[in-house]
Amino acid sequence: MSKRKIQVTVDEQGLEDSQAVFDQLGLSTSEAISLFLKQVSIQGDIPFSVSVFPTDDEINRRLDLALSNAIENGTVNVVTPQNDEEFMSLLDED
């Protein structure tokens, strides 16, 4: 397989942080980039989720999971107000 040299411009801190991870994995930056490109080729897509903001469904899923875990672990008490007055009083509590 022939090799081709590429040149990219990246954020310096991001590169340093990434190289520390690659070092722990025993990879050079070149090898890590080659792995990324190979996965793009195999999957026909970027091999991880890319988004600026999570979708409403993802936010709701994460909130539901966090709440379920908190209830299961006993780290939160669930209170259901019976009316607007009770709701407002709950908001005023510290």
**Is the entire prediction scored with pTM above 0.75?**
no
Separation CA 25–CA 43 (nearest Å): 22
The helix or strand, by DSSP H or E, that contains position 68, with its residue range, turns out to be helix 56-73
Q: 3-class DSSP state for residue 27?
A: coil
> Which tens digits make up the pLDDT trace of 29-65?
999 999 999 999 999 999 988 777 777 888 888 888 8
Q: Does 23 fall in a domain?
A: yes
Q: Domain of 63?
A: 56-92
Q: Does 48 fall in a domain?
A: no
Count of structural domains within the chain: 2
Structure tokens at 62: 């994460």
Q: Does 5 fall in a domain?
A: no
pLDDT value for 66: 87
